[in-house]
Amino acid sequence: MQFSASQIAMIVQGKIEGNANASVTSFGKIEEAVSGQLSFLANPKYEDYLYNTHASIIIINASLELKHPVNATLIRVADAYSAFATLMAKYQELEAQQLIGVQHPSFIAPTAIIGKNVFIGAFAYISEKVQIGNNTKIHPSAIIGDSVKIGDNTIIHAGVKIYNDSIIGNHVIIHAGTVIGSDGFGFAPQADKTYKKVPQLGNVIVEDFVEIGANTTIDRATMGSTIIRRGVKLDNLVQIAHNVDIGANTVIAAQTGISGSTKIGAYVMIGGQAGVAGHISIADGSKINGKSGVTKTIKEPNKSFNGFPAVDFSTSMRINATSRNLPEMEKRIKELENIVQQLLSDRS
């Protein structure tokens, strides 16, 4: 696909400096781009590449003052990074529109309801009473369980498994290998020290504009629903347990685990390898640093937490600073003990 500078400027609402008819067919990093590619500059550390890159069109921040002449056509926008992301999304959307139809072999149950302009890849399995919305793409080897509902303009990548009764919204992206709706980890201890499985009868609800990374797992609720609310972004290898409720526009990085029945507020940011205990709540706007362990409810919104067990960020920094001084403090305490002992001996 080919785009001209004028078309790009219209999409990102930018101002052109240079040849409005310059065209590109692909994207490239500013330090590696070749003629015919589109690039962007958002990080000042890469500004030197702006003056010798071979990219044909470059998106830059409106506030950037040029130090040298630039050969490429420039498009100035308020936020170059966001504008570039918008263009890449548009490109991806246009590519996806070309995927239409059903590849074979694949299985579609006779009771399934399939919308318009849907793509179903080879070896996909669409079970009974499934509903798939318009323009949705189901890639090869995906398995969609009984009575699953999938909205419009959603992408289910290869090898995704969506268990029975799950509900997936509009404009959702689920990456390869993810499992939605597997049983929650519920086992009742018995008198003989064995464990009796507690049936998991609920479902998973994924609202609109959610993106879920590869090999992430989201367990179905014991009763009711595990809910991933609008705009949530989950990284690869995230574990969401049964009956968890994740608030709108929260982002969670890789290898994080959220235990059962925990409620996470809106606009929360959780770093990689963090752990959250079960049956607690995390307030809106909280920031949990990577590798932190949250063991208690966080009630006050918009605060940062760090460490295990997680405490507010400033306290964590003081603890870390103090711990580095422990060897010297131990030495001083021993010296003081010796002085006290000497004073006691002198008095006797």
- What confidence tens digit (pLDDT) does each residue in 240-258 have? 999 999 999 999 999 999 9
List Cβ neighbours of 37 (8 Å cut-off, separation of 6 or more).
24, 25, 26, 27, 28, 54, 55, 56
Peptide bond into 105 cis (omega under 30): yes
pLDDT tens column, 35-53: 999 999 999 999 999 999 9
pLDDT tens column, 279-325: 999 999 999 999 999 999 999 999 999 887 777 877 777 777 777 77
Which of 71-85, 92-106, 181-195 is least confident?
A: 92-106
**158 touches 142 (CB < 8 A):** yes
Is the predicted pLDDT of residue 12 greater than 70, yes or no?
A: yes
* Confidence at residue 209, expressed as pLDDT on a 0 to 100 scale: 97
* Confidence at residue 344, expressed as pLDDT on a 0 to 100 scale: 80
Give strand pairing partners of 305.
Answer: 288, 312
Q: Mean pLDDT throughout 59-68?
A: 95
Strand 26-27 to 57-61 pairing: unpaired
- Show the tokens assigned to 108: 């579609």
pLDDT tens column, 91-142: 887 777 778 999 999 999 999 999 999 999 999 999 999 999 999 999 999 9
* Confidence at residue 94, expressed as pLDDT on a 0 to 100 scale: 79
List Cβ neighbours of 256 (8 Å cut-off, separation of 6 or more).
235, 238, 239, 270, 271, 272, 273, 274, 275, 276
Which amino acid, residue 295?
T
pTM given for the model: 0.81
Is the predicted pLDDT of residue 176 greater than 90, yes or no?
A: yes
pLDDT tens column, 18-39: 999 999 999 999 999 999 999 9
List Cβ neighbours of 147 (8 Å cut-off, separation of 6 or more).
127, 128, 129, 130, 164, 165
Average pLDDT, the chain: 93
Q: Mean pLDDT throughout 216-241?
A: 98
Residue 344's alpha-carbon distances to 109, 331, 339, 341, in angstroms, are 90, 20, 9, 5
Q: Mean pLDDT throughout 150-157?
A: 97
List Cβ neighbours of 345 (8 Å cut-off, separation of 6 or more).
none
Which long-range contacts link 24-28 to residues 24+ away (Cβ below 8 Å)? Answer: 24/55, 24/56, 24/57, 25/1, 27/87, 27/88, 27/91, 28/55
Peptide bond into 44 cis (omega under 30): no
Is the predicted pLDDT of residue 68 greater than 70, yes or no?
A: yes
279 tagged catalytic: no
Cα 47 from Cα 45, distance rounded (Å): 6
Residue in the block written with tokens 């362990």: 293
Report the share of the chain in percent with pLDDT over 90.
Answer: 82
Is the predicted pLDDT of residue 348 greater than 70, yes or no?
A: no
Helices 5-12 & 80-97, crossing angle to 10 degrees?
110
Cα 308 from Cα 343, distance rounded (Å): 41
- Show the tokens assigned to 170: 């509009």
Which residue of the set 139, 157, 242, 279 is catalytic? Answer: 242
Residue 243's alpha-carbon distances to 23, 261, 266, 299, 316, in angstroms, are 50, 5, 17, 20, 30
- Show the tokens assigned to 240: 């969401």
